[in-house]
A and B are shown apart, each in its own frame.
Chain A
Amino acid sequence: MKITLKVWRQGGKYKGEFVEYKLDNVKEEMSFLEMMDVLNESLVQKKEQPVAFEHDCREGICGTCSMVIDGQPHGPQKATTTCQLHMRSFKDGDTIYVEPFRAKAFPVIRDLVVDRSAFDRIIQSGGYISVNTGQAQDANAIPVEKDVASMAFDAAACIGCGACVAACPNASAMLFVSAKVSHLAMLPQGKVEAKKRAQAMVKTMDMEGFGRCSNVTACEAECPKEISVNNIARLNREYLGSVFASEKIV
């Protein structure tokens, strides 16, 4: 396949601009990242600065491979991370725009690499359980209904990639935060601190400069793990319940 890439370059000699690269020998079975590897090899051979992009597991579980491909975070294929996207999703002769996730809370570090540590700070403010939950057998001793466990698991599938923020016209982090709050709030061990958690995580989310959710649902459409916006409604419930019905002030 012949592919023309328009890649956002920023840092070093690039001020922040699209640079065009032509690749003549792209194989359909290459993953998108493998194609980027091929591009970078050719750049290194030409003694040019390779395109910086993030990746780690390359199997869709770590959430680092952030890029917006032709206007969609993680590209055109539904429920797929960039590393799991293959070139057979494109046609011979296609021109593909590759851009970093864009949001004020995700500043670009270089080229396609953005700083997503705002998510880490949200987690640090409440996305954990600090009470003693005992050993594995203690967890098994607490009855949890299968449906609830499944819902909690669906929410826990969030890999913290940030595609929801990149897709949202408001750069809101509500889908991410709601997934984290939901997965803990639905299980008995997480319920203990649910009230404080909802307020604390929303507060940090607001401080980090993410936008306000207006229920556009572009996040769910682009989420590689198909996290549902029902979680956002649950977060709203958790938050309103915590603010108005609990004595917690965070």
Chain B
Amino acid sequence: MNWFINFLGSSIGQKVIMSLTGLFLITFLAVHLTGNLQLLVNDQGEQFNIYAKFMTTNPLIKATSYLLYASILLHAVQGIVLWRKNRSARGGQGYARKVTKAVGTNSFAASNMAWLGIIIFVFLGLHLYQFWLQMKLGKVPMAEYNGEQVKNLYVLVAEAYSNPIYVAVYVFSMIVIGYHLLHGFQSAFQTLGLTHKKYTPLIKGIGWMYSIIVPLLFAIIPILMYFNIYPLSSFLH
């Protein structure tokens, strides 16, 4: 087992942890987005609330959610460890002038992953406090659908995004996530050694699209809610 512990501590091992947890979080984003899009259904939150109940009570999804919390923490902690290690490897004396170019990736994103990550982590704190913690501990108004009592998470969300400051914070955070993904998506594959003349352009292309489309769709939701626009119709009834 020693060899495995050594691997986890090696430079490549540490990066592999970032890569695997990162890829898991990337897939999670897509799942989260399908949930959120239901906020735009014009049924005062019925479909969204029923979906939220399913997501918080289904045992399989609950189990996956613990894996998710663990991944988020591991990704964040390992990221900080790497960041500190890399800063110290740079040495105390910085360059008076420094040009950082990049090949095939966004150089701003690539060289600021830690800062982008820290902003995302802070946003996540707020986000979990606002919704997740309230669902777990706080007083959430109830709604009744077909005689069944369901926590009305929709009201919580709608209230939050009637505040333009929250909307702005949310949209800003999505831009930050977009940049983080812009480098992170393809970087995860490179770290695992998954490069290929034929497939890497495809991976990079999907990465670019993913990092633009997913945060964009996320960001649109609170904006539309702010303006009371609900363009989707329910498929419940």
Question: Which of A's residues lie within 8 Å of B, judged by CB?
Answer: 6, 8, 16, 18, 68, 70-72, 97, 99, 102-105, 167, 169-172, 174, 202-203, 205-206, 209-218, 220-222, 229-230, 232-240, 243, 249
Asked whether, in the complex, the Cβ of A215 is within 8 Å of the Cβ of B183, the reply is yes
Q: Quick check: is B15 within 8 A (CB to CB) of the other chain?
A: yes
Instruction: State which of B3, B82, B94 has its C-beta within 8 Å of the C-beta of A212.
Output: B82
Count residues of chain B with CB under 8 A from any CB of chain A. Answer: 43
- Asked if A97 meets B10 with Cβ closer than 8 Å, knowing A169-B111, A171-B91, A236-B190, the reply is no
Q: Quick check: is B99 within 8 A (CB to CB) of the other chain?
A: yes
List of B residues within 8 angstroms of A218 by Cβ: 100-102, 107, 110-111
List of A residues within 8 angstroms of B190 by Cβ: 215, 229, 232-233, 236
Instruction: State which of A18, A210, A229, A235 has its C-beta within 8 Å of the C-beta of B103.
Output: A229
Question: Which of B's residues lie within 8 Å of A, judged by CB?
Answer: 2-3, 7, 10-16, 82, 85-86, 88-91, 93-105, 107, 110-111, 113, 183, 186-187, 190-195
- Asked if A214 meets B187 with Cβ closer than 8 Å, knowing A104-B91, A240-B193, the reply is yes
Whole-angstrom distance between the alpha carbons of A203 and B11 in the complex? 8
Instruction: State which of A169, A203, A217 has its C-beta within 8 Å of the C-beta of B86.
Output: A169
List of A residues within 8 angstroms of B15 by Cβ: 212-214, 236
Asked whether, in the complex, the Cβ of A70 is within 8 Å of the Cβ of B105, the reply is no
List of A residues within 8 angstroms of B93 by Cβ: 16, 102
Chief secondary structure at chain A's binding surface: mixed
Whole-angstrom distance between the alpha carbons of A230 and B99 in the complex? 22
Whole-angstrom distance between the alpha carbons of A202 and B15 in the complex? 13
Q: Chain B nearest CB: distance from A132 CB in Å?
A: 29
Asked whether, in the complex, the Cβ of A202 is within 8 Å of the Cβ of B10, the reply is yes
Instruction: State which of B89, B94, B104 has its C-beta within 8 Å of the C-beta of A217.
Output: B104
Asked whether, in the complex, the Cβ of A214 is within 8 Å of the Cβ of B192, the reply is no
Whole-angstrom distance between the alpha carbons of A209 and B100 in the complex? 21
Instruction: State which of A6, A210, A212, A216 has its C-beta within 8 Å of the C-beta of B110.
Output: A216
Whole-angstrom distance between the alpha carbons of A68 and B192 in the complex? 31
- From B11, B96, B102, B103, residue with most partner A Cβ within 10 Å: B11
List of A residues within 8 angstroms of B191 by Cβ: 213, 215, 236
Whole-angstrom distance between the alpha carbons of A70 and B99 in the complex? 8
Whole-angstrom distance between the alpha carbons of A124 and B61 in the complex? 51
Q: Chain A nearest CB: distance from B111 CB in Å?
A: 5
Q: Chain A nearest CB: distance from B95 CB in Å?
A: 6
List of B residues within 8 angstroms of A174 by Cβ: 11
List of B residues within 8 angstroms of A70 by Cβ: 97, 99
Contacts A209-B89, A216-B100, A240-B193 given; 4 further ones with Cβ under 8 A? A68-B95, A103-B90, A215-B105, A222-B101
Asked whether, in the complex, the Cβ of A206 is within 8 Å of the Cβ of B11, the reply is yes
